[in-house]
Amino acid sequence: MTNSEGNLKFTLFKVLNALKHFYSFKELEERLGVSAQILWRYVSLRSVPERVTAERLLQRIEDEKLIDEAFERAIRDSEEPWQVLSSPGIMELAELKVISTLKGDKVNIVITGSDGYSTAFGAILADALHARLCVASRSPHSRHLIVKSYKVSQDYYDTLIFPRECIQRRGRALLVSVDGDKASQISALIDVANMRQVSIAGVLAIFGSESKIRDLVKSKTGSDAKVLVLAKYCEGQEDLCSEVKKSRQES
């Protein structure tokens, strides 16, 4: 994202519009030091803040860690992964976090697993990054394929299939996976990128350990990548995420 005046104002609108699903305007008033009525007017586009005001509010939102806390609230209030992922505002906040994390990096490919939520996140991020979206499929319509099988459990293997022409050789990619704890899928996505000599700018996972994913990318590519795990709060906070983790283990 650039720091142009119009972009700052639009970013503030998107952030506030997403945060309203997790905080009341009264809560935002207390945290941001701006009246609830004015914040409501910004969200409803009844008025537009000055550039300096938009910049100050965005910095305040970052300082108060409101976006991180919103993810935490989504996890705390959910018993199953789909409830976290389908929460209104979650995808918008994830998009903003990824754009901020990858600031200055020219990603031109977004590569995802075949599950619905990875695909949905990937589509949103590909649009925001102006990048090509490459989704794994079990039956792609292409004569030239990239096929990668990986072990899910002791008795089960899964397969990622991509049209070869979708993953541009020597591109720069963002990998998207729902469950970062399932290292086998992320490892397979990395292998697919390596087949096309694609460098990995970053990895987005909904659940998992940032440090473990970062180490995995480093071990398989020899390079560092930016890693963003939305539900990283589960690390060291079992009481907060116990129900979500239990549900994931049973699924």
Q: With bands split at pLDDT 50, 70 and 90, how would you rate the model's confidence at 186?
A: very high
Residue 195: pLDDT band (50, 70, 90) is: very high
Q: Identify the weakest region by mean pLDDT among 95-109, 130-144, 213-227.
A: 130-144
Task: Determine the pLDDT at residue 76.
Answer: 77
Name the percent of the chain lying above pLDDT 70.
Answer: 88
CATH fold, domain 89-250, is Rossmann fold (3.40.50)
Q: Within a 10 A sphere around the Cβ of 125, how many other Cβ atoms?
A: 24
Question: Given a cut of 90, is residue 7 above it in pLDDT?
Answer: no
List of residues 6+ apart from 113 with CB closer than 8 A: 119, 136, 160, 176, 177, 178, 185, 189
Q: Among 63-77, 121-135, 180-194, where is mean pLDDT lowest?
A: 63-77
For the chain, percent of residues with pLDDT exceeding 90: 59
How does DSSP classify residue 208? S
Per-residue model confidence as pLDDT tens digits over 96-116:
889 888 988 999 999 999 888
In tens, the pLDDT along 54-110 reads 999 999 999 999 998 998 888 777 666 677 778 888 888 989 889 888 988 999 999
Paired with 134 in beta bridges are 111
Higher pLDDT, 209 or 76: 209
Whole-number pLDDT of residue 1: 38
User: Can you give the pLDDT at residue 179?
Assistant: 83
Helix runs in 116-251, H state only:
116-129, 183-195, 210-221, 238-250
- Inter-residue contact 142 to 163 (CB < 8 Å): yes
Q: Both tokens of residue 173?
A: 């990619």
Task: Average the pLDDT over each of 33-37, 46-50, 154-158, 187-191 and give the range with the smallest value.
Answer: 154-158
Residue 239 pLDDT > 60 = no
247 or 188: whose pLDDT is higher?
A: 188
Q: Please tell me the distance from the alpha carbon of residue 163 to that of residue 154, in angstroms, as a whole number.
A: 28
The domain spans of the chain are: 5-64, 89-250
Mean pLDDT of the chain: 86
pTM: 0.83
